[in-house]
Amino acid sequence: MLAPVLWSLALTLFDGNALFGFEYVGFDNIAALAGDPRILSALGFTIRYAIVITVGQVLLGYLLSLLYVFALRRASVIVRTLVFFPVVLPTVAVALMFQQLFAIAPRDGLVNELLNVFGIASVDWFGSPETAFWVIVIMDIWRSMGFYAVLLYAGLVDIPEDVIESARLDGASGWRLVRHIVLPLSLPVLLSSVIFSINGTLKVFDSVLALTNGGPGDSTTPLTLYMFQTSFTYGEYGYGSTIALVLTVLCLGVTLLIFRSSRDDITKAAR
């Protein structure tokens, strides 16, 4: 991994591509970021997407894991399998399914047909930046919440049963049990899930490419897709590597921030 990372870092100092050759430009590519409106749009979409998806993935995953442990118990294996199933589906297949579900042409998809039943006009879900964003959000949360449910379930089952029983004997139940006993003890795996999720969502590529291809316009183009287009569609390897550098710094910065802020929380929870 180190060799391509260093090679990509070195390319930020050059302009051109392998076909026409490279020209040393120093820090011109980095300076160009300040005047590029597309980089701001891609960065804004990436951060917004990462926050919304991370909250949705981890929150729904945690709620499902609580359901597996405290409500379903014996039937949780079947439910876990069904909820986890979208994780193993190919991204392109899932995207095609959601394109049909939210379609408006050549005929309405299932979602628009349901809206019509309630007297609501069909919506062009992929024609508006806002609605296209939320279709991507719904698709990616649906695909991934089963994975985080299993991941967090593994953390919950490690909580000693005698601790739970003692808390129940002391009168803790329902939300009080979760708030004061389960949540603090599962905080390390919960924070690991947040870090895992936000790093994955910051690097989103395949689901956006398959569902909207960054459209309408550039409204759903993340940094990864902009980097790909710049490098391999426009042949600007140097500027594409500069965008990759921005993404790398963003991922590292967010991870370090979460680690630093969570260190004290874990220590307090342990005490």
Over 80: is that where the pLDDT of 74 sits? no
> Which residue, 235, 241, 223, 233, is CA-closest to 13?
241
Neighbours of 233 (CB within 10 A): 9
What is the reported pLDDT for 271? 56
pLDDT exceeds cutoff 80 at 263: no
% of residues, the chain, pLDDT over 90: 63
Of 115, 118, 189, 178, the closest CA to residue 150 belongs to 189
Residue with more model confidence, 146 or 20: 146
* Least confident window among 82-91, 138-147, 173-182: 173-182
Rounded to 5 degrees, what are φ and ψ at 109? -80, 180
Per residue in 175-233, pLDDT tens? 788 887 888 888 888 988 998 899 899 999 999 999 999 999 999 999 999 999 999 99
Range 76-101 average pLDDT? 92
Range 2-270 classified under CATH 1.10.3720.10 = yes
Does residue 268 have a pLDDT over 70?
no
172 pLDDT more than 80: no
| Distance in angstroms (rounded) separating the CA atoms of residues 59 and 37 | 33
Q: Where are the domains of the chain?
A: 2-270
Q: What is the pTM of this model?
A: 0.90
- Mean pLDDT for the chain overall: 89
pLDDT of residue 17: 86
Long-range contacts of 83-89 (CB under 8 A, 24+ apart): 83/145, 83/146, 83/149, 84/146, 84/147, 84/149, 84/150, 85/146, 86/142, 86/143, 86/144, 86/146, 87/143, 87/144, 87/146, 87/147, 89/143
The rounded distance, in Å, linking the Cα atoms of 170 and 172 is: 6
Q: Using one digit for the tens of pLDDT, what is the confidence trace for 21-39? A: 899 999 999 999 988 999 9
Whether pLDDT at 259 is above 80: no
| Start-end of H helices in 24-173 | 28-33, 37-67, 76-84, 91-101, 110-117, 129-156, 161-169
Q: What local confidence, expressed as pLDDT, does residue 265 receive?
A: 58
Distance, CA of 170 to CA of 77 (rounded, Å): 30
pLDDT computed for residue 97 by the predictor: 96
